[in-house]
Every structure is written in C-alpha cells, then in structure tokens.
Amino acid sequence: MISKEEVQHIASLARLELSEQEIGKMQKDLTEILDYFKLLNKAPTKISRRENLGGQAQNLRKDEVISQDREVVEKLVAAAPDKKDGYIKVKTIL
C-alpha cells in the first residue's frame, strides 16, 4: 500500500491540496492502479533505439512567435482572475 506520506509528497509536487479524506481514498485507488501497472513487467523488453524514435516525433516546428490579433490578446488577459494595465497579476513570490 502506498503510504500517506508518499501521497502527500506527490500532491505537493502536483500543487494539489487534498483533504484528509481524499488522501485516504487516494492511497487505496493509487495502490490498486499501480498494482495493475505491474503487468507491464511481463512485456517484452528488447526494443531497438531506432524503433523507439519513430512516429509522433516527426511533426516538429520551429520554436517561433506566432503573432495573435490584439483583440484576442486582450480577451486572454481579461480572462485572468487578477490583472492590471494589460498584465496578469500574481502574488509576491519572494
């Protein structure tokens, strides 16, 4: 069984607040699901590097800025919960 501390550690990595009750349920559910994943240990292990690179990695694009209409940009900022002068406001970090 996955420990309460481990659930709390993962939740903090995910920036997720969980109640005591949720932590208990999560221990049970994650344990069951992770046990199911053990099935993968039975899978074949020899996969060549080349095959492993195929498929999804092909459609790459340049990392470049694609301009957006001013109207859309304004709407995007407007959707933020807290904003000022066209910028999204965040709480003090340090």
Partner 1 sequence: MNLTELTIKQAHEGLKNKEFTSVDLTKAYLDKIKKVDGELNAYLTVTEKLALEQAIRADERIALSKAEGQDFPMLCGIPCAIKDAIMVDGEKCTAASKILENYVAPYDATVIKKLKEQGVVILGKTNLDEFAMGGSGENSAYGPTKNPHDKTRVAGGSSSGSAACVAANEACFSLGSDTGGSIRLPSSFCGTVGLKPTYGAVSRYGLIPFGSSLDQIGPITKNVDDAETVFNAICGKDKMDATSTDYKFQVSLAGQASSKLQGLRIGVPKEYFVKGIDPEVEKIVRSTIKKAEEAGAKIVEISLPNTEFALACYYIIAPCEASANLARLDGVRYGLSVDGKDLLDVYLKSKGHGFGAEVKRRIMIGTYALSSGYYDAYYKKAQEIRQLVKQDFAKAFEKVDLIFCPVSPVPAIKIGERTDDPLSMYLMDIYTVSVNLAGLPGLSLPVGKTKEGLPVGLQIIGNHFQENKILAVASQLE
User: Token digits for 68?
Assistant: 């957006």
Residue at 89: amino acid letter: K
Query: Are the C-beta atoms of residues 80 and 90 closer than 8 Å to each other?
Result: no
Question: Quick one: which of 5, 13, 20, 70 contacts partner 1 (CB under 8 A)?
Answer: 13
Q: Interior CA angle at 30 toward 27 and 32, to 5°? A: 105
Cα 70 to Cα 21, 37, 61, 91: the distances in Å are: 46, 47, 24, 26
Question: Does 90 sit near partner 1 (CB under 8 A)?
Answer: yes
What mask, x for binding partner 1 by CB under 8 A, covers residues 31 to 70? -xxx-xx-xx-xxxx-x---xx-xxx--xxx----x----
Contacts with partner 1, residue ranges (CB under 8 A) = 7, 10-11, 13-19, 22, 25-26, 29-30, 32-34, 36-37, 39-40, 42-45, 47, 51-52, 54-56, 59-61, 66, 72, 75-76, 78-82, 88, 90-93
